[in-house]
Amino acid sequence: MSFFDYAMKFIGGASTTTVTCPVCGLKSSQSASKIRLKQAMLCPGCKALFIAPRSGS
């Protein structure tokens, strides 16, 4: 991982995280900042709005 990648992840601006829709189970890539800010995400499969649980500890 380059320093630039690390910096982008640290800032969280453009990084994405794979989340699983709790309704249909489809995995999709969502903005990591949305997860951090607990903003609702739109599932591309079933169009459900959901808030991803925090990953990790």
Residues in contact with Zn ion by the rule CB under 5 A: 21, 23-24, 26, 43, 45-46, 48
**Which C-beta is closer to Zn ion: that of 7 or that of 27?**
27
CB 10 within 8 A of CB 23: no
In the complex, the smallest distance separating the C-beta of residue 34 from Zn ion, rounded to whole angstroms, is: 16
**Which C-beta is closer to Zn ion: that of 11 or that of 24?**
24
User: Where are any strands of DSSP class E within the chain?
Assistant: 16-20, 27-31, 41-42, 49-50
Gap between the Cα atoms of 24 and 13, Å rounded: 27
**Which C-beta is closer to Zn ion: that of 14 or that of 29?**
29
